[in-house]
Structures are given as structure tokens and as C-alpha cells.
Amino acid sequence: MRKITKWFLVGIVLIFVLGCSSGGNPILDKAAITKAKTKINDLAKIVGSYKRLRGELPPEDKPLFDSLSGFMTEKKKAEFKPTVQNIYNQYLESKITDEVEELSNETKQDIMKKVEEDEEIVQKYFEQLKEKNEELYEGELSEDLLKDLKVQARQQAIEQLKRQEAKKNLTEKEKNELMKKAKDLYRRQLPPFNTDPEDGGWENPKWVILKPKKEVVLQDKIENFKEQYGRAPSNYRIQRLEDQTEAYVKSKSTGYVIWMANDSNNTLVYAKVQ
């Protein structure tokens, strides 16, 4: 398995990097590659959290960020794929947080009263929390947990209404200043990955799962059974061998996140999911 992994990754590097060398600034290239390696390892850790919680790796046929949507905030995602818009959104959220603190006590009281009188507002957040926890605990939730979720939902409803009210208080001038600030930062900072297809980059990371071939493993188990017992396994035994094979393949599956660094050579960086 280790040998297959090694040559597989070498093959990917040769396919995508061969002939891409453009002889850029070695110092800047080294810094760009180091930054990309750090961020690809961070991304692999998030995928690892997904694996531990779900008991399996994200599907290979689905964009990785789609699978991780519930495991990272938009702010965290922006660390891997910064754009002017998501930098602006971060500035905007920070500004709204400051404005929430400036809301009058009268406004805050009105918001709390609105939440108390309109159960549908709280119910929306309660259903979202309930769905997440049902998926997490894989079953029916206890009464105590449901009560806690109701309290959390009420608090979320209040905070969201405060943020909506604070956002209304922002002027167009303030929003334009935030956008200008976002554009300035985007021009100054170096994104960790090349996400521009026109420049040979990938908009999203490649997500690859290496695993033993199920048919080969199953055939080996059947042959071992024949050698040990001197007969072919029954249909019932084959079903059990298939279940064992499924579990074996799942346990031996290894995921790799692969992306292009933002250096002059579009160097590939990758990280193994632990």
C-alpha cells in the first residue's frame, strides 16, 4: 500500500508539473511553497475531523469543500480561497459585531420581546440545531438535550436579530470603505494556492482516496478459505467474507488533499489525512 501511494503521488506530480517550470524568484517561490504546505496540512486536519466524527472519509466524487461545509465557517474557508468578496465579508462581520455593542438598550429590549412573541423565529434555529445533533448522536435526542437546544436556539435568534439591526445602521459610505479596505488587502496578500484556471491553477483542491481493490481482497479471502477447508465457501460464508472485505477496505483507505502552490512553477503540495 505504501509503495502504491508513493508512485501514485509521484505520477500526479509528473503529470501536472512536468514542463511547468518558469524560473521565478527562488526566495519568493520557497515562501509560497512553505505557505501552501502549511495550509494544505491545516485542510487535511479538518478532513481528519470529518473522518473521526463521521467514521469515514468524505466521498471522492463530491467537491471537498461541499463535504466540509458543516465543518468550517466561511471565514475559515477564506483562508484557503481568499477573494475580495470573502475578505469584505469578514470586515463586514467584524464591523457588525462592533455595531451590536452600540445598540441602544431600548432596541435590545424590543428584539428580546419580538423573540418571546414569535415562536417561529426560535423554531427555525431549533430545527437546525436538532438536525445537526441527530446526525452527531445518530439517534433520538434526550429531553434534557432538547431543552438545552431550545435555549441555544433562543439565544441564536436574539443574536441574529441584533446583527440584522446593527447592519441596518451601517451607511453606504462605511460599506464602501470596507470594500476598499478588502481590495487593498487582497492586492497585498499572497493567497496560499493558485486557484486561477487561466493561470494553470485549480479552483478547488483535488481529493483522492487510495484503497485496496475490493475484488482482489475478496478473491484472496475466498482462496484462503478453500485452502483451509478444502471446499468452496457457501453463499452465507461469502456474504460474511464480503462484509469483512468491506470493513477491511474502509479501514485501509487513505485520503490525500492535493493543490497547487502559488509559486511560479505551480508546485503541487499534498497532505495525508490522519
Q: The cell 500526479 sits on which residue?
A: 12
Q: Specify the pLDDT at position 250.
A: 82
Return d(Cα 40, Cα 28) in angstroms, integer. 18
The domain tally of the chain equals: 1
The answer to whether residues 194 and 81 touch, using CB atoms and an 8 Å cutoff, is: no
Q: Specify the pLDDT at position 174.
A: 96
The answer to whether residues 82 and 189 touch, using CB atoms and an 8 Å cutoff, is: yes
Residue 104 belongs to a domain: yes
Q: Rg (Cα) of the chain, in Å, rounded?
A: 26
Return d(Cα 128, Cα 134) in angstroms, integer. 10
Q: Residue 260, exposed/middle/buried by CB under 10 A (0-12, 13-18, 19+)?
A: buried
Q: Specify the pLDDT at position 71.
A: 84
Q: Specify the pLDDT at position 15.
A: 45
Residue 46 belongs to a domain: no
Residue 229 belongs to a domain: no
Residue 165 belongs to a domain: yes
Return d(Cα 89, Cα 95) in angstroms, integer. 10
Q: What is the pLDDT along the chain (274 residues), one digit of tens a residue?
A: 444 455 555 455 444 444 344 556 888 899 999 999 999 999 999 999 999 988 889 999 999 999 998 888 888 888 898 888 888 998 999 999 999 999 999 999 999 999 888 888 888 888 888 887 776 666 677 888 888 888 899 999 999 999 999 999 999 999 999 999 999 988 888 899 998 888 889 999 999 999 888 888 889 888 888 888 888 989 998 899 888 888 887 878 899 999 999 999 999 999 999 7
Q: Which domain holds residue 178?
A: 83-190
Residue 137 belongs to a domain: yes
Task: For residue 207, give the H/E element and its range.
Answer: strand 206-210
Return d(Cα 224, Cα 218) in angstroms, integer. 10
The answer to whether residues 174 and 95 touch, using CB atoms and an 8 Å cutoff, is: yes
Q: Residue 77, exposed/middle/buried by CB under 10 A (0-12, 13-18, 19+)?
A: middle
* Strands of the 254-260 sheet, one edge to the other: 206-210, 254-260, 268-272
Whole-prediction pTM value?
Answer: 0.62
Residue 35 belongs to a domain: no
Residue 203 belongs to a domain: no
How many alpha carbons lie under 13 Å from residue 16 in its C-beta half-sphere? Answer: 18
Q: Specify the pLDDT at position 6.
A: 52
- Which is it for the CA torsion 215, 51, 64, 258, positive or negative? negative
Other CB atoms within 10 A of residue 110 CB = 14
The answer to whether residues 261 and 269 touch, using CB atoms and an 8 Å cutoff, is: yes
Residue 64 belongs to a domain: no
The answer to whether residues 245 and 221 touch, using CB atoms and an 8 Å cutoff, is: yes
